[in-house]
A and B are shown apart, each in its own frame.
Chain A
Amino acid sequence: MLQSCRAWVGCFLLGVVPAGVAGDAEKSVDAWLKQMVQSVHTLSYEGTFVYLHNTQLETMQIAHAANGDQEQERIFSLNGAAREVIRSQNSVICVLPDAKSVSVTKHRKTDRRFPSVLPVNISRLSDYYDFRLLGEARIANREAVVIGVIPRDPLRYGYRLFLDVNHALPLKTDTINEEGEMVSQIMFTSLRVTPSLQTISPTLHHGKSGYTWVHPKPAQEISTSADANWKFKQLPQGFQLQVRTKRSASLSEKEMEHFVFSDGLATLSVYFEKADDENGLRKASKMGAVNVFGTQVSGYQVTVVGEVPAQTVRTVANSIEYSAVSSVQ
């Protein structure tokens, strides 16, 4: 035993100094991130990843099919309730076996949602994040380059990305909070790039008879320049309004207005609904890296949701003011 220990100590503590890193590391962070964005959307791949947030560990399968400019994607939980989210150009389908329901959200044609992707604009992002090439690693038996995305203020998360050297697919993504703690880690345990995968077969074929089918009314996009009754007094620097939608009231749902802000990496949503019940959130909550904060402003339930630190959603929520400007133009 001691002999083997000694061998291990020798091997691990001293190790062999391998040859220097080859050409790939010379590629700029900019180039890596651009390739990542491209690959994530234009390649077909299948894999299994683990998702650790706080102390909770999940295993999920992902399948992504790219066919020309068409994309489909399925995320399927391998533990607990067999939840599933299927995204495509036209819809997002959530299968919730535990709630015995299937929710189908159709997109309107005018929506500039999936698959449109925000381009990586490093020069703009550089005002809010520092990008660094950190080294190399091995994840899911693949060689990876490690990129650090370091926020310049404590109002956004940092990221450590482990990108596959061949395709720049993110094999591991660490999300790191303002304390330097990892709030979530996503790591592939296996990943295959499968060019032959062109469509994802729906899994809604059997056993769904007792399910409730829900068809939420799609929201309508409003011009971001249109006057809003809502004033956001304290958005973190660089967060700009990306999308604004409004959903009119239906039998099952109230009128809702939704603002999406982004600094180019992090995304923050603000939801407004008439506060006419006791179910609105009036405090902070969180799940994994997602923080939410709810409050009431001028008779409205205001809920801020985002993959940003708790402080950020709270500050944004508490800085929202109502001003009686006509929003109808």
Chain B
Amino acid sequence: MTENIREEISALLDDELSHEEIDQTLSQLSEQEQLRSTWDRYNLISDVIRGEAGGRVSPSLADQVRAQVDAEPAILAAPKPAQSAPAWVKPLAGTAVAASVAVLAVMAAPQLLTPDAKISPQVATVKMAEPSYAQLASVPPTQNFHLANSVQYRVRPVVVTQPAARWSTQYSGTRWKNLAKPATENRLNKYLVDHSEYATQAPVRGVVPYATFVGYDARQ
């Protein structure tokens, strides 16, 4: 990568470029993997400084920058030290890049509702439960830049595995997983209500068990 491009990225972040220069820089960005990682790095730094998660800078900025560096994806840095905290502990790490991508995406395509965490390279370790999500996640970030800046709308591929089951309202409710017998479900519900009474005594508010039950969908 040339020093020139580095400067342009920096200038872009500092909002110093003209429209033409922005277009040029962004199109270069979207073409070159290495540049993209530089873009990400700048975004990270920028987000960290702004304290993306909290919307403000927290007292231990230096710690957070260090944490951020630890949490950088493989393309940016060596593997993180074994004793570092799990990634979710760092709200900065989890949301920083995603938020920037979100802003870009929202500007050009408000209907783009894909969770940004699935796209962000920062969160590339997130397990994909659904084939459709996996496919969405495999769409490289490049296309987000196209979406955002060149307004090249692209229909994302969506795999619908079981159309009837996935779209029917009959299956959209909250239910126990992989159970078929109403009597078994009924018994689990009783246990759940009973358990919830005790779980609510725990300091971390046990609203969840009741919420789980209240949301339960009894439709067959």
The chain A residues found within 8 Å of chain B, CB to CB, are 2, 4-6, 8-10, 12-21, 25, 33, 36-37, 40, 51, 53-56, 58, 60, 62, 75-77, 80-81, 83-85, 87, 92, 94, 96, 98-99, 103, 105, 113-114, 116-120, 130, 132, 134-138, 146, 148-150, 158-161, 170, 173-176, 179-182, 184, 186, 216, 219, 242-243, 258, 260, 262, 264-267, 269, 271, 277-281, 283-290, 292, 303, 305-307
Q: Inside 8 A of A303's CB, which chain B residues have their CB?
A: 187-188, 191
Are A53 and B198 in contact, CB atoms less than 8 angstroms apart? no
Q: Inside 8 A of B192's CB, which chain A residues have their CB?
A: 287, 290, 305
Cross-chain contact of A281 among B51, B184, B201 (Cβ < 8 A): B184
B73-106 CB mask vs A (1 if < 8 Å, else 0) is: 0000000000001111111100000011001100
A-binding segment of B11-19, B27-35, B136-144: B11-19
CA distance A258 to B194 in the complex (A): 9
Known pairs A13-B46, A216-B190, A279-B183; A117 contacts B201 (CB<8 A): yes
B24 at the interface (CB under 8 A from A): no
Interface size on B, residues (CB 8 A): 82
Are B217 and A80 in contact, CB atoms less than 8 angstroms apart? yes
Known pairs A8-B107, A13-B46, A285-B188; A184 contacts B208 (CB<8 A): yes
Known pairs A17-B49, A173-B204; A51 contacts B209 (CB<8 A): no
Are A137 and B57 in contact, CB atoms less than 8 angstroms apart? no
The chain B residues found within 8 Å of chain A, CB to CB, are 12-15, 19, 22, 43, 46, 49-51, 53-59, 64, 85-92, 99-100, 103-104, 107-108, 125-127, 129-130, 148-149, 172-179, 181, 183-184, 187-188, 190-195, 197-219
Are B184 and A279 in contact, CB atoms less than 8 angstroms apart? yes
Are B195 and A306 in contact, CB atoms less than 8 angstroms apart? yes
CA distance A21 to B172 in the complex (A): 43
Q: Inside 8 A of B130's CB, which chain A residues have their CB?
A: 55
Are B213 and A242 in contact, CB atoms less than 8 angstroms apart? no
Beyond A54-B129, A148-B89, A292-B176, 12 additional pairs, beta carbon < 8 A: A13-B15, A80-B173, A85-B193, A85-B214, A98-B218, A113-B197, A136-B51, A137-B54, A160-B89, A174-B88, A258-B194, A281-B184
CB contacts between A and B, total, < 8 Å = 275
Known pairs A2-B19, A84-B214, A280-B184; A267 contacts B198 (CB<8 A): yes
Cross-chain contact of B54 among A33, A92, A116, A146 (Cβ < 8 A): A146
Cross-chain contact of A135 among B54, B86, B173, B204 (Cβ < 8 A): B54
Can you list 23 A-B contacts (CB < 8 A)?
Answer: A6-B15, A12-B103, A14-B15, A16-B50, A17-B57, A21-B58, A81-B217, A84-B214, A85-B213, A92-B197, A117-B201, A135-B91, A170-B205, A173-B208, A176-B86, A181-B126, A264-B202, A269-B191, A281-B184, A285-B178, A287-B216, A290-B208, A307-B208
**A299, chain B: closest CB distance, angstroms:** 17
Chain B residue nearest to A18 (CB atoms) is: B56
Q: Inside 8 A of B55's CB, which chain A residues have their CB?
A: 18, 136-138
Are B174 and A56 in contact, CB atoms less than 8 angstroms apart? yes
Q: Inside 8 A of A37's CB, which chain B residues have their CB?
A: 203
Chain B residue nearest to A62 (CB atoms) is: B207
Are A17 and B50 in contact, CB atoms less than 8 angstroms apart? yes
Are A60 and B214 in contact, CB atoms less than 8 angstroms apart? yes
Are A136 and B88 in contact, CB atoms less than 8 angstroms apart? no
Are A21 and B59 in contact, CB atoms less than 8 angstroms apart? yes
Are B19 and A285 in contact, CB atoms less than 8 angstroms apart? no
Are A286 and B177 in contact, CB atoms less than 8 angstroms apart? yes
CA distance A281 to B187 in the complex (A): 9
Known pairs A17-B49, A305-B195; A58 contacts B207 (CB<8 A): no
Q: Inside 8 A of A305's CB, which chain B residues have their CB?
A: 188, 191-192, 195
Are A53 and B212 in contact, CB atoms less than 8 angstroms apart? yes
**A272, chain B: closest CB distance, angstroms:** 11
Cross-chain contact of A118 among B57, B87, B126, B201 (Cβ < 8 A): B201
CA distance A80 to B170 in the complex (A): 11
Are A113 and B201 in contact, CB atoms less than 8 angstroms apart? yes
Are A285 and B179 in contact, CB atoms less than 8 angstroms apart? yes
Cross-chain contact of A83 among B88, B90, B179, B214 (Cβ < 8 A): B214
